Chain A
Amino acid sequence: MSSVVKAVGVAGVFKDIDPRVRIITASLLAIVVVSLSSFLALGSALAGAFVVFTITFAQGGMGAALKKVLAMDAFIFLVLIILPFSTPGTPLFSIGEWVASEEGLFKAIAIAMKANIAVMLLLSQVGTIEPVTMGHALHRLKVPAKLIHLLLFTLRYLNVLHEEYSRMRTAMKIRGFRPGTNLHTYKSFGYLLGMMLVRSLERSERIYGAMKCRGFRGQFFLFDEEKIDLNDMVYGSAALFALGAIIALEVGYVSYV
């Protein structure tokens, strides 16, 4: 059974670092990176993120991970390409009556850099944690238990429901359904979705009954035994050092606008 949501790859040398440490440091770095305005700091962070990304996926998974980064770049390209033309400022070049400004171009480049740094760190440091393990780590980071339960249930039933969806699509195909741009297609997809909701509500009643029968009282047992070891501390210190270095570059350098 293939999983809909699964770890992006194996985290190479970082695979034994405690998930909590990875989640916290990646989040802190992301927050700092999106607040940067100096290109020196952004450039260094981008180089650093790329190195971390490469080291993480060096033993495998590089292709799949890189594809995800490029997909994001393709996604933001359209919005970023407008920015130079919609930002007033020093004219740089023009296409017809559209004038691109220097400020706008710099802004677009800065956003592209921030988005790439953030996604590379997130995919390599957090995306390589097994989804269920991430849920348990978030629990230990004091994320509300109900939210964690919701996360774990979603993960558990994603594959089941995705398979159900595939089965229903196969059934439609056998009956000659070919999707196209027409009312019949949209109606059929609507019925498909409605039917999935109907079935899954009934399924959830059976699940709840079965859990109740086994003594479910609204709480899972969540793993709570991992300890922070020396490696985690070294990793955490390195991340904090990088964080400090980026901030130092930022404040020691004139901003770009």
Chain B
Amino acid sequence: MHIVDGALSGEVVIVGSALAAAGTAYGLKSLDMDKIPQAGVLSAVFFVASLVHVPIGFSSVHLIMNGLAGLVLGWAAFPTLLVALLLQAVFFGFGGLTVLGINALNIALPAVIIGILCRRGVRSQNAKIAAIWGGVAGSLAIAFTTLFVALSLALSGEEFIAAAKLVFVAHIPVMVIEGLLCASAVYLMNKVKPELFGALTVTAVQKVDA
């Protein structure tokens, strides 16, 4: 769900970049240097996830999983997803340089919102309730992202509203799939390693050197 260079109006790009910079700065501030190895490895997992294609009908979609990223990373989702988008723009030609900020904002802000809304739920003692929260998180994150992408287009000019609607409708199946995937990922994580949720907040992880 990348936007390419040149499609958006200057105002949207500038405001989006400023907000993304603020989010990234806050995310980095909340991240100790000690946590960088963890953040880096988790960041790599989400990058690999974005390369995974799951079948849908005769086609396939690649995963975004920003809901799960928000549940695990919290505010660190901002710098993490920014890094992933930078690498994709420079080495894959997906997205662009001037829209890096707005693309990061559109994917990371939903992640952070979902992290705040659903983290309690996915930590539930009951793994099934956690899975339901996980499903909500996965779908809602994509819904927000799609909405933000549509909004970035619509704010750039009325002529984009038709395209914005198309983007939203086209992603409804993705919302369903990401919801199902996120639900089962959360179910497993809840049973095996519940401290993954909010792993980068100081108390959640036992320190190796403690």
Contact = CB atoms under 8 A, between A and B. Distances in A.
A251 interface: no
Interface stretch (A10-18, A177-185, A222-230, A234-242): A177-185
B44 A160 contact: yes
B116 interface: no
A253 interface: no
B163 A197 contact: no
B188 interface: yes
B192 A198 contact: yes
Contacts of B6: 33-34, 110-111, 113-115, 117-118
Contacts of B193: 197-198, 201-202
B90 A126 contact: yes
Contacts of A198: 188-189, 192-193, 196
Contact of A186 (B65, B92, B177): B177
Contacts of B48: 4, 158, 161-162, 165, 196
Interface in A1-48: 4-8, 26-27, 30-31, 33-35
Given A115-B96, A187-B180, A198-B192, A87 B159 contact: yes
Nearest to A145: B33
A119 interface: yes
A207 B34 CA distance: 11
A194 B90 contact: no
Contact of A118 (B68, B97, B189): B97
A208 interface: yes
Contacts of A191: 184-185, 188
B162 interface: yes
Interface in B67-85: 68, 72, 79-80, 82-84
A105 to B, nearest CB: 11
A86 interface: yes
B83 A154 contact: yes
A146 B28 contact: yes
Main secondary structure of the interface of B (DSSP, over half): helix
Contacts of A79: 7, 163, 166-167
B55 A194 contact: no
A27 B97 contact: yes
Contacts of B96: 30, 115, 118-119, 122
A85 interface: yes
A218 interface: yes
Nearest to A110: B6
Contact of B36 (A153, A186, A202, A209): A153
Nearest to B41: A204
B112 interface: no
B180 A186 contact: yes
A71 to B, nearest CB: 7
A152 interface: yes
Contacts of A119: 4-5, 93, 96
B172 interface: no
A190 B184 contact: yes
A150 B79 contact: yes
A193 B96 CA distance: 27
A82 interface: yes
B85 to A, nearest CB: 11
B41 A207 contact: yes
12 contacts: A30-B96, A111-B7, A115-B7, A119-B5, A153-B36, A153-B40, A153-B44, A158-B44, A186-B54, A197-B45, A197-B189, A201-B199
Given A149-B40, A193-B65, 13 more contacts: A8-B91, A75-B94, A86-B161, A118-B4, A144-B28, A147-B83, A156-B44, A158-B48, A162-B51, A193-B45, A198-B193, A200-B45, A204-B41
The 7 closest A-B pairs by CB, nearest first: A153-B40, A114-B6, A190-B184, A218-B33, A194-B188, A118-B5, A194-B185
